[in-house]
């Protein structure tokens, strides 16, 4: 992926109709991506662990700005499954398809383990596109779930994703 595509993908991920992360700007996202602090959308939830890496940050990233941003990121973790499906960038999935996905898979962990046939009610072409995207991008979606849902404390979480 080129850098601008990654920036746009993350801008969409943090937007109001997705994770609704307040107090984050295009310039900040661009800086984080270009500094290799964010590669996948789920990496935004790992920024709080990288504070040492951004000590030589631009002047606009003051301690107050950083604290406000990390607080907004934490608050955004309380998200509905519908908005979660919308935010991950599945092909052909806006709010209406996200509602249908939510009806099929109320928990995203079940979606991550679904077969192409499980998606066929969305239409064959859409099912194929969603399934291929899911299989290609599954690794960071699992990380996303760990970040927003404390799945690591579940005994069977790793079996779910094998």
* Residue 63 pLDDT: 78
Would you say 145 and 108 are in contact if contact means Cβ atoms under 8 Å apart? yes
Compute the distance between CA of residue 74 and CA of residue 148 in angstroms, rounded to an integer: 9
Would you say 38 and 44 are in contact if contact means Cβ atoms under 8 Å apart? yes
Strands (E) across the chain are located at none
* Residue 161 pLDDT: 39
Would you say 21 and 87 are in contact if contact means Cβ atoms under 8 Å apart? no
Would you say 16 and 95 are in contact if contact means Cβ atoms under 8 Å apart? no
The structure tokens 């996948």 sit at 40
Would you say 87 and 13 are in contact if contact means Cβ atoms under 8 Å apart? yes
* Residue 151 pLDDT: 40
Would you say 92 and 126 are in contact if contact means Cβ atoms under 8 Å apart? yes
* Residue 56 pLDDT: 64
Would you say 140 and 40 are in contact if contact means Cβ atoms under 8 Å apart? yes
Compute the distance between CA of residue 88 and CA of residue 105 in angstroms, rounded to an integer: 15
If you ran DSSP here, which 8-state letter would residue 62 be given? Answer: -
Tell me the Cα Rg of the chain: 16
- Token pair of 18 as six digits: 């997705």
pLDDT mean for each 10 residues of the chain (162 residues):
91 95 92 91 88 62 83 93 94 93 94 96 95 95 87 36 38
* Residue 141 pLDDT: 94
């Amino acid at each position: 992926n080129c850098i601008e595509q990654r920036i746009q993908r993350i801008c969409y991920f943090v937007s109001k109709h997705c994770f609704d992360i307040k107090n984050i700007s295009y310039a900040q996202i661009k800086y984080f991506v270009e500094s290799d602090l964010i590669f996948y959308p789920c990496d935004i939830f790992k920024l709080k662990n990288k504070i040492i890496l951004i000590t030589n940050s631009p002047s606009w990233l003051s301690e107050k700005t950083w604290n406000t941003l990390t607080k907004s990121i934490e608050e955004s973790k309380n998200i509905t499954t519908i908005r979660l499906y919308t935010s991950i960038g599945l092909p052909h999935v806006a709010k209406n398809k996200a509602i249908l996905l939510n009806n099929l898979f109320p928990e995203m962990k079940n979606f991550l383990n679904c077969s192409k046939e499980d998606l066929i009610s969305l239409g064959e072409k859409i099912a194929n596109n969603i399934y291929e995207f899911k299989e290609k991008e599954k690794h960071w979606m699992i990380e996303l779930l760990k970040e927003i849902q404390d799945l690591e404390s579940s005994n069977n979480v790793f079996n779910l994703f094998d």
